[in-house]
Amino acid sequence: MRVNRCARTWPGLLLGLMVAVLGAPTPLALAEGSGPAPPAPASPAPVSPPAADPSVPALARVWPVGVRPFVVRGWEPPATAYSRGHRGVDLAAVPGAPVRAVAPGRVSFAGRVAGRGVVSVELSGTGAPPLRTTYGPVRASVRKGDEVLAGEVLGALEATDGHCGPTACLHWGLLRGTAYLNPLSLLPPWLLNTGPSRLLPLNPSGSRP
């Protein structure tokens, strides 16, 4: 009887000694022993900002309104010329806020369209047909044919006309000929991103561009 009890005890003692020396098997070891371990979850890929339109040079030197305005509604290009979409961007602002030219150019239109004040500026050195920025609703302080510099005031933002609902905003557009483009493509990275202010070089006349 004593011999049989000893015979049953020795394997248990031997197993305990092996665990004490080698350590308990880890979950990974158990998984490897039972088959291939499941693959580790992949890290999420970094989200990149949308690429700018390569056909639009980033020549803007200021936002058309404010310093870094909130984009109420972004660029939503229509599928076809007659499809619904949003042919520009809406920038939050208060009525009466100054509306500025984002780059040098010539005023090609300043007036009212369907009761809404609109200013258009053809941008200098942007090919044929030139790029054309549009701003509305704006009470214009410039006239057709005026040459304007980047940052020059074109007029004042009028009260909302319902385009942005109860919120006042500036609708800013960009065209080449009759093709609508994303106006945010005009903004260089230092204007699109928040960060320290950047001083522009002086023109020979002593004024900033």
Residue indicated by tokens 């005009």: 186
Which residue, chain included where needed, has tokens 């509604």? 73
pLDDT at 96: 94
| CB atoms inside a 10 Å sphere around CB 117 | 20
Profile the chain (209 residues) by mean pLDDT over runs of 10 residues: 48 46 42 44 35 80 94 75 72 95 98 93 96 96 98 93 74 93 93 56 44
**Looking at residue 75, what is its pLDDT?**
72
137-142 contact pairs (CB < 8 A, 24+): 137/161, 137/163, 137/171, 138/99, 138/170, 140/110, 140/111, 142/107, 142/110
Predicted structure pTM score? 0.66
Please give the DSSP secondary-structure letter assigned to residue 76. B
Within the chain, residue ranges assigned H as helices are: 2-22, 27-34, 189-192
Half-sphere exposure of 6 (CA within 13 A, CB side): 3
Task: Give the model's pLDDT for residue 28.
Answer: 40
The confidence score (pLDDT) of residue 46 equals 35
Residue-level pLDDT at 84 = 65
